[in-house]
Structure 1
Amino acid sequence: MSVQRMLGVVLLQLLLGVAQAECTRDILVPFSDVGVDLRLVDGKRGGISVDYLDEVSRRTGCRFVYIDVPRARAWWMLAHAQADVVPGAIQADWRDESGVFYDQFVMEGVSLLSLRSAPLKLDSSKSILASGLRFAFVRGHDYGPLTAGLVHVLEARGQLALVKDPGTMLRMLQAGRVDGAIVMASIVTTEAEQLGLNEGLSGQGINDLEWGTTGIYLSKISLPAADRELLERTFRELNEEGFYVRGYQQLQAGMPVWVGAGFRYGREPR
């Protein structure tokens, strides 16, 4: 066989491989504004997770279709096989029942946000509970059992407002309806900018609460096996390359100072 013919065969095999790699249907992704991960600005979707899924599309040919829902609804959709992928996620046992979590090697601590004009220097669950103040937390966010325990006690005492999204939480804080917001601070950066609060917030890390690991969930039940295997392979490949870590590191320098709990990285990008 001539060299030209051999090259032609190899090229044909590569092209067939690309064609065969495409998913059998559109991949459904619930979309909620969660700061640097997923954000909607002037009607345009963006964020590190959108960039990540764009790269998955480029490598696989799979097409991701976004559905606008509150964050709590996203988890209901995953549990009921109405969503295929949930990005910008923190791992939790109950979520693991419906999806497989792929670690993207970025960790963030839980913060207490307050107005810069009336900053709260409460750095533990004990000091928050002893303060007698009123706080806000976004329904559907789950950072782990320690944060869940604090939220439960505050709610039982009537000191907690559970809200549908980060924007509502910041507007309540801005209006003085709550004294502080318990959140991973990077989640509210988009809303803070839109509300003119970039210079108006103060952040305090809550030292005895979790450092949450950010990743992406892939449904165990909603997808055909071939699609699930293709996405799993590509997620692992991108995560090992540090694609997501690189995106966070590029943004971190420009984040407001009140994103105070900071970040830790599980590995450096290759």
Structure 2
Amino acid sequence: MLTRLILCCLLLGAGAEAAARQPGPAGCAAISVAFYDHGALYYRSGGAWSGIDKDLVTELGRRSGCRFRYLTDSRVRIWAMIQTGTLDMSVSAIPTTERKKFARFVPYMATRNYVLLPKSLAVKVRSLDEFLAEPSYKIAVVKSFKHGPTYDAWLDKLRAQGRVYDTADYTALVHLLKIGRVQAVLSLPTSWMPLFKNGELNDDFRPMDWAPRDVVVGALVLSRQTVPAATVQLFERTMREMRADGTLKAIFERHVSADIAAGMLAYPGEPEGEQRN
């Protein structure tokens, strides 16, 4: 009798474990998704996490039927986990040729970076070339971030001269600017607008639009090792529905101004799963 009881318990335990691994109602298993603290995209509000990316993933889960397991980490660690297959998914990712080797992308927003400068410097320096020409000027960026073709090429030149500080997160980035360790930082409107709004940055700083033709595409990033192509296609369809019915616009406008939200909807190209090459 005892042997039979132990066997039954083992079978029940195995069944529960198998059930936990079963796909959700839309054909996808529980997906680990990592967020990172980054302005209006993901931020603490009243002791809880909020932001565009949080709302977007919540709505994606509601519509697709997929279950998500949330975590918060640094951007550097997130990319490392995606690449090794220990994390399924993240947000606000910029597709690159190298990253597409280990991940698939589902775009949902467009934006571009601005250069934040002290006001006293903004009246003297009017372009990337003028900043580059002064050897004493330094800039800070978040490690592992991509900033668009114009800024990334400019940063390569600054790096060659030892003039770039790589920070672990956006909070450290802003701190270096405020204490004068660097003369500039690169930042998206979804990051710098809240800082001016809440008073963390004041009128002593200016955002400069030095690469107006650059477009930075923000996307869901999904591990090729752990997330099936069918799930990526499901997310693409769901994202198109959210865009078409105005849900995506409403999520953006919940956290940024209407004009910034309108620009975020204007991303170019097609989702990866829709390309035929």
Normalising to structure 2: TM-score of the pair?
Answer: 0.75
Q: Which residue of 2 aligns with 1:45?
A: 49
User: Alignment partner for residue 108 of structure 1, among 98, 103, 111?
Assistant: 111
How far did 1:194 drift? 6.6
- Residue 58 of structure 2 aligns to a residue whose secondary structure is helix
How far did 1:263 drift? 3.7
Q: Which residue of 1 aligns with 2:133?
A: 130
Pairwise CA RMSD: 3.0
Matched, 1:88 2:80: no
Matched, 1:20 2:25: yes
- Say if 1:39 and 1:46, in contact at 8 Å, map to a contact too: yes
- Say if 1:74 and 1:86, in contact at 8 Å, map to a contact too: yes
Q: Which residue of 1 aligns with 2:216?
A: 212
- Residue 251 of structure 2 aligns to a residue whose secondary structure is helix
Q: Which residue of 2 aligns with 1:266?
A: 266
How far did 1:30 drift? 1.6
CA distance in 2, matches of 1:144, 1:197: 24
CA distance in 2, matches of 1:39, 1:254: 19
1:57–1:49 Cα change, 3 Å: same
CA distance in 1, matches of 2:134, 2:266: 34
Q: Which residue of 1 aligns with 2:39?
A: 35
1:121–1:102 Cα change, 3 Å: farther
- Residue 98 of structure 2 aligns to a residue whose secondary structure is helix
Q: Which residue of 1 aligns with 2:62?
A: 58
- Paired-residue identity, %: 25
CA distance in 2, matches of 1:139, 1:35: 16
- Residue 83 of structure 1 aligns to a residue whose secondary structure is coil
CA distance in 2, matches of 1:236, 1:99: 20
- Residue 211 of structure 2 aligns to a residue whose secondary structure is coil
- Residue 20 of structure 1 aligns to a residue whose secondary structure is coil
Deviations 1:197-224 (A, max 9, x none): 1544311011367221222222222124
CA distance in 1, matches of 2:161, 2:249: 39
How far did 1:168 drift? 0.3
- Say if 1:124 and 1:208, in contact at 8 Å, map to a contact too: no
- Say if 2:25 and 2:65, in contact at 8 Å, map to a contact too: no
CA distance in 1, matches of 2:82, 2:176: 29
How far did 1:226 drift? 5.2
- Residue 86 of structure 2 aligns to a residue whose secondary structure is coil
Unmatched tracts of structure 1, length 5 or more: 1-18
Normalising to structure 1: TM-score of the pair?
Answer: 0.77
- Residue 29 of structure 1 aligns to a residue whose secondary structure is strand
1:210–1:235 Cα change, 3 Å: same
- Residue 25 of structure 2 aligns to a residue whose secondary structure is helix
1:229–1:110 Cα change, 3 Å: closer
Q: Which residue of 1 aligns with 2:122?
A: 119
CA distance in 2, matches of 1:120, 1:90: 31
Please tell me the residue identity of whatever aligns with 1:102.
V
